[in-house]
Chains A and B, each alone.
Chain A
C-alpha cells in the first residue's frame, strides 16, 4: 500500500517547502527520491499495475476487510516469532515479578524430598518378596540351601520354563544371532526370526497377521492408544488389569465402564452410548470394547460369544487382552477364542503375552494386516523400543509348535486345575460345578450359568476364577475391616503353607493408591500342567488346611 499513497504526498511536500525548517529539507528530499525509486522499481515488475489496481479497488470497497487482513498478518508474524515452548510469561495468571523477588522465591523454594519415608506397609511388602535361588520352574528354592518348594506363583502353564527343547532352541539361536538385537525394528532390528514368529503366531491363532513387542506390559499400554485417540469411545470392563488402565489413560479417549463380567450392563452401556450419539449427532468415531480373556485380577473368563454378538450389533471393535489366557485356555492353548470355539479373526485386536503363555518373553498383537501394520508405525512401544531378543522369538515359535503338536499339555493342565479346585471346593460358599466344564465346550450357556446353590456353612473363601482357569485368585469371604489387616492375614497363609506343606504361593501384588479401582486383596495361584498330580493334590490339601487354620477361626 505504501507505494501507492506516497507519490501525491511527495509532490505536495515540494511547494510547501518554505514552511519546513531548513535542516529537514535534505532529509525530506532524499526520502521522496527514495520513495520514487521504490515506486519506479515496483512498476518495472511485470504485472504490477494489475496488483495495484486490485488492491486499490478491493480496499476502497471494503475497509473492514483491510483491517481484518492487517490483523491477520500481525497474528501470523506473532505466531512465527513466538517461542517453541508454551507459556513464556503470558496468560492472565502470570504475575510479573522483579529479579530480586524471583531470587527470594528461589531461595525459599523447598521441594518435598524425592523419596518419602517408607511406611511399615512398604517394608512389609518388600520383605515378603521371595527370591528364587537357582532356576525358576516347578520346584524352586527360596534360600541358597533351603528346602525345595512347589512353585504355584509363576505362570508356567505347560512347564515350558524347564523345557529342555526350548533350551536347545535358545542355544542354537544364540550361536546364530547373539543375544540382543541392538536396534528398534525400523532400524535393522527386524530379524527373519521375528517375521517367522509373527507368522507362526498368526497361523496358530488363525488371524491374518501379528506383531511382536518386546514386553507384554508395554504392549498392552501402548497398543490401545495406538488406535484409540482423543474423542473415541472405549467401553471397558471394570475389572481390567493395570496395563489396560494405563493404556486407556494414555489414549485420552472417552471411557465408559461396565460392571465386571456383566453382559447386561455392557449392553446397557452400549445402548446409552448409541442413544447419546444419536442425540448429539456428529461425526462417526472409533468405538472399542476392551476386556480380558481371563482377567488378571480374579481369573474370571469373559463371555466372549456374547461380547462378539454385542460388538457386531453395535459396531464396536474388540480389544481383547489374552495375556493370561494365551497358552492356558482351549484345547491347544490358543486362548479363550479356542475355548469358546470363536474364530480369533472375529477379535479385532488380540493381545497376548509370550512371557506368561509360553515362558519366553515379550508380547504380541494379532489381528488383520491393517491392524498390525498400523502399529508398526503408530505404537510407541513398538517404534521406539529395541526389538525382542532373537532367542525369545525362536523359543516362542518352538513352544507354539509344541502346543500345536501336543494336546496333552493342555489336558494335563486342566486335570491339575480340577484336582486343585476340588481340594478347595469344600471351603467355598457354593460348590462350583467343576466336572461339567472340563472339556473345551462350545455350549456356552451351561458353562456360564451359575450352578444351583448349595449353601456351605464352613465357607471361608470365595474363588471367582473360572473352573478352567489356571490362574486362580482366592478371596477371603469375611475379610477384616482394613486392607492392611487383610494383607497380613493372607501373608500368614502364604507363610503357613510354605512352612508346613512346602508350597510357594503369593499374595496378589497390587500398586495400592495407583490403581483406578482398588482390587480386593487375594491369594494368587498358578497351576502348571507339568506338576505331578500328587503334588497338586498335596498342595490343595495343604492350602486348605492353612486357610482353615488362619482364617477359619473367627
Chain B
C-alpha cells in the first residue's frame, strides 16, 4: 500500500494480535539473483524451490477464522480445534486443502515434494464435497460463507484515490532509458538489416511497383518492441476459459517471429479471461439450456435483424436485458465492439459534440469517427476537467460558427478495462443536471461484475439507471456469451432499431448465444414467482456491508417467468437466484481481497478495490515477459502455473506497463492466496514492490477477511 498514512487510520485492517507471534517476514528468496532465476534452467529451480519451501514453512501461520461459522467445512474445523498445536499452526491455509485430500493424516510437510503433492491436482479436484455438476477446473467450489462480500458503494471510501501512487524516480528513469535503448537498438537493427538482409525487410519496402503494405515506421513498435514480448500474447488455448485454462506450450527459435507448438499442454490458473461471474462453463444449468436451444433453433441467426432474422428468442432476450438493466427497452447486437461502433453514429452526427474520457475503448472512438460528430476528450475520470471542458464547449459553441451544439453526449465507461477504475457516476449525474448533456455509459466490464445485484455501476452507486440516457454493455464478460446490448428509453431504442447499422446490415445474434444470455442473466436475477425463497441475509459479511444512507431504488426485481422461453428448463439453484447471488458475492470478495492484499504487499495497484480488474504496475518493459513467464513456470513449492495478461503501450501510457488480473467468481479463496504468494515471489525477484510493504504474504492471507472489510 503506497499510502502508509491512510493505513494507520484504518485500525481494523491491521492483523489481529494473534499474528504478532508469527515470525517476522523475510524475503523468500534471499539467495537468488535475477539472472539465476532463468525459468529454462531446471537446476536453479530445484535450488530456489528448496529455499522457498523452507522459508515459506517458517513464515506460515495458522488459518485465521475469527468466528465459528466454518461448520460447513469440517476439515478446517479440525484445524481450529487443535489451534494451540504448534505443528498444526505451522500449516497455512493450504493445510485445509491438504487435510481434506490426505484425510486423517496430520503429518507435517517436511519436503518440497509433499507440498507439490498436495498441489498436484489442485486445479482439478475440489477439496470440499459438492453436489454441483460444474467441474472444479471451470468453477472452483468454495463453501466458506465468510469469504463473501457485497459489491456496493461505500460513500466513506473515495471513488478515486486523491493522488495516483507514484513509483520511485529511479524506476521512472530506468523505464525511460529502457525505451530509449529499445528504440535506438531497433533503429540500428533496421538500418543494418535493410542493407545486409534485405530479404527480411521485403514486406516493408516497395516492390514491383507496389507500395509496402506495412510502413516500416508504423510497424516499428510491433517489430522491435512488441516482438520481444510476443510470447506473452495470443497464447493458443483449448477448452473452457474458466477458473483454469489449458494452454498449448510453445517455443520460438527465431526471436519470436514464429512459434512452434511443442505438443504438450499446461493447465494453469486463469486470471486473464473476462469471466467475472464464472459463466464460462461447459457443464451446468446454462450449458444444458444452450444444448436444448441448439436442438430446437440450430446454430445460426444468419441474416440481419430487419430481414426476417428476428427470432422470438431475440425479443425474449431483449425484454430480459431491459428488465435486468432497469431500463425501458433494450436491443442486442451480435458483437460487443460493433455495439458501440454501430450505435454511436445513430445517436449523434454533424453538429453534435462527443466528450469522451481519454481512456475510452477503441470501439467508442471508432463509432465517434463514423458518426461525424466532433470529439473532445478529458483527463481520465477527472470530473473537474470535465466540468471545465463543458463550460468551455457550451460557452464557445461549435468551432468557427459559434452556434450552440445540437447535442452534447458524454461517453464514459463504467469500469475501465486497463485501469480498474470506476466512473464517478454520482458526480456525473449532478453535472448532467446542470449542463444538460446526454450520458452514455459503456458497461462492457461493469455489467454483472459490480453492484449488489450485479446490475453494473448504477446498481453499485445506488442510482436509478433511468437517469443515464444510454447504457451499453457486453455479454462476453460476465455472462460467458458474446455480443452486446444497448438499453435506454423505448423511444431511443426504437430509433436505434431504425438507424443502427447493425440491425439493418449485420448478422443477428445466434440462438445458442441468446440462450446463454437468458440463462445466465436469469440466474443472476432469479425468476419470479420464486420457486424457493432466497436465503435471508444473515451472513457475517453482510453485517459488515455498507448500509446506504439514502434508500436504494428498487428497480431490480427478479425476472418474471413469462419472459423466459417456455422450453427452457433451469435447475432450481439458478431459478431461485441463489447461485447468481453467491457468484456476485464471491466475485466481490475475491476482487477486494486480491486488490487489498497486493497493496499490503507493497505493489503499486491501480483502480478501485471493488473492481474485479486489478492492474499491478510493472513499469520497466524488460520485466513484463519475466513476470508472465515466472507466473507460468512457478518457482514456489506449489508449482501451480498461473496465466496473466501483461499490457503495455499503446494500450496503456508508455511508462505504466502493467499486469492485469481479471478475477472471477469461479476463483476460490485458496486461488487468490496462490496468486498472492506467486506475486510475492515474483515481486521480490523482479523488484516490483515499488510501494511500502506493510504486511508479509502470510499475514495477508491470514487476515483476508479483515482486509476485505477494512477501509483504506
A residues neighboring B (CB under 8 Å): 84-89, 93-95, 97, 101-102, 105-106, 109-112, 114-116, 118, 122, 125-126, 129-137, 140, 142, 144, 151, 153-156, 160-163, 166-167, 170-171, 174-183, 185-193, 195, 214-218, 221-222, 227, 229, 232, 241-243, 246, 249-250, 284-287, 315, 317, 353, 355-356, 359-361, 370-371, 374, 376-377, 380-381, 383-386, 388-389, 391-392, 395, 504, 506, 509-511, 514, 524, 526
Query: B306 and A182: CB pair below 8 A?
Result: no
Residue of A nearest to B366 (CB): A380
Check B481–A360 contact: CB distance below 8 A: no
Report the Cα distance A180→B512, complex, angstroms.
10
Given contacts A118-B494, A136-B301, A161-B298, contact A174 B310 (CB under 8 A): no
Shortest Cβ distance from residue A290 to the other chain B in the assembled complex, whole angstroms: 15
A385 touches B370 (CB 8 A): no
Given known A154-B307, A188-B645, contact A242–B505 (CB-CB < 8 A): yes
Within 8 Å by CB of B245, from A97, A133, A151, A188, lies: A188
B311 touches A131 (CB 8 A): yes
Residue of B nearest to A92 (CB): B400
Residues in chain A near residue B248, CB distance under 8 A: 192
Which among B209, B247, B306, B513 is the interface contact of A129 at CB below 8 angstroms?
B306
A170 touches B294 (CB 8 A): yes
- Given A250-B366, A284-B211, do A101 and B309 touch, yes or no (CB 8 Å)? no
B345 at the interface (CB under 8 A from A): yes
Are A174 and B282 in contact, CB atoms less than 8 angstroms apart? Answer: yes
B491 within 8 A of A: yes
Residue of B at shortest CB range from A87?
B376
With A217-B501, A285-B211 known to touch, is A136 a contact of B309 (CB < 8 Å)? yes
- Asked whether A218 and B282 contact (CB < 8 A) given A115-B492, A177-B239, the answer is no
- Residues from chain A with Cβ under 8 Å of B220 in the complex: none
The reply to whether B236 and A389 form a contact with Cβ atoms under 8 Å apart is no
Asked if B149 lies at the interface with its beta carbon under 8 angstroms from chain A, I say: no
A101: which B residues are within 8 A, CB to CB? Answer: 395
Q: Does B399 contact A (CB under 8 A)?
A: yes
B75 at the A/B interface (Cβ < 8 Å)?
A: no
Known: A85-B378, A392-B510. A182 touches B301 (CB 8 A): no
A135-B311, A506-B306 are known contacts; what are 9 more A-B pairs with Cβ within 8 Å? Answer: A102-B394, A176-B240, A178-B282, A192-B248, A215-B335, A222-B366, A286-B213, A389-B513, A511-B499
Q: Using a CB-CB cutoff of 8 Å, which residues 232-253 of chain B contact chain A? A: 233-242, 245, 247-248
Indicate whether A179 sits within 8 Å of B481 (C-beta atoms), given known contacts A214-B335, A242-B505.
yes
Are the C-beta atoms of B363 and A380 separated by less than 8 Å? Answer: yes
Q: Is the CB–CB distance between A179 and B280 below 8 Å? A: yes
Contacting residues, chain B, for A376 (C-beta < 8 A): 234
| B625, chain A: closest CB distance, angstroms | 15
Contact between chains at A136 and B297 (CB < 8 Å): yes
Chain B interface residues toward A at CB < 8 A: 138, 203, 206, 208-214, 218, 222, 226, 233-242, 245, 247-248, 270, 272-275, 279-283, 286-287, 290-291, 294-312, 314-315, 334-338, 341-342, 345, 347, 358, 361-363, 366, 369-370, 376-379, 385, 389-392, 394-396, 399-400, 402, 404-408, 434-438, 469-470, 474-477, 479-482, 489, 491-492, 494-495, 497-499, 501-502, 504-507, 510-513, 516, 643, 645
CA distance A384 to B312 in the complex (A): 30
The complex places the Cα of A93 from the Cα of B402 at a distance, in Å, of: 9
Residue among A85, A97, A195, A221 making CB contact with B236, cutoff 8 Å: A195
The one of A153, A162, A167 that contacts B303, using a Cβ cutoff of 8 Å = A153
Instruction: State in angstroms the CA–CA spacing of A21 and B301 once bound together.
Output: 93
Residues on the A chain within 8 Å of B363, using CB: 380, 384-385
**CB contact under 8 A between A178 and B213, given known A116-B495, A126-B498, A136-B301:** no
Chain A residue nearest to B337 (CB atoms) is A385
Q: How far is the CA of A425 from the CA of B530 in the complex (A)?
A: 60
Q: A93 to B287, Cβ gap below 8 A?
A: no
Enumerate chain B residues within 8 angstroms of A222, measured Cβ to Cβ: 366
In the assembled complex, which residues on chain B have CB atoms less than 8 Å from the CB atom of A185? 234
**Are B434 and A171 touching (Cβ within 8 A)?**
no
A167 and B504 contact, Cβ closer than 8 Å, known pairs A217-B338, A384-B363: no
Given contacts A126-B494, A356-B507, contact A179 B395 (CB under 8 A): no
User: Given A106-B434, A179-B516, A355-B507, are A188 and B272 neighbors across the interface (CB < 8 Å)?
Assistant: yes
CB contacts (< 8 Å) of A155 on chain B: these are 302-303
Residue of A nearest to B400 (CB): A93
Known A97-B395, A116-B495, A171-B294; contact A154-B308, beta-carbon cutoff 8 A:
yes
A401→B608 CA distance, assembly (Å): 49
Measured CA separation A51–B148 after assembly (Å): 66
Contacts of B337 in A (CB 8 A): 214-215, 218, 380-381, 384-385
Could you tell me if B299 and A166 are in contact, using CB atoms closer than 8 angstroms? Answer: yes
Across the interface, do B338 and A360 meet the contact criterion of CB distance under 8 Å? no
Whether A182 contacts B391 in the complex (CB less than 8 A), given A136-B297, A217-B502, comes out as no
- Which residue on chain B has the smallest CB distance to residue A108? B404
Residues from chain B with a CB closer than 8 A to the CB of A142 are 308
Say how far A527's CB is from chain B's closest CB, in angstroms: 13
Residue of A nearest to B204 (CB): A370
Among A188, A193, A510, A526, chain B packs the most CB atoms within 10 A around the CB of A188
| Contact across chains for A178 and B280 when beta carbons are under 8 A apart | yes
Instruction: Tell me how far the C-beta of A368 lies from the nearest C-beta in chain B, rounded to whole angstroms.
Output: 9
User: What is the bound-complex CA distance between A102 and B338, given in angstroms?
Assistant: 37
- On chain B, the residues within 8 Å of A114 by CB distance are 347, 407, 438, 469-470, 492
Contact between chains at A504 and B308 (CB < 8 Å): yes
Please tell me if the beta carbons of A217 and B505 are within 8 angstroms of each other in the complex.
yes
A509–B304 touching, CB < 8 Å? yes
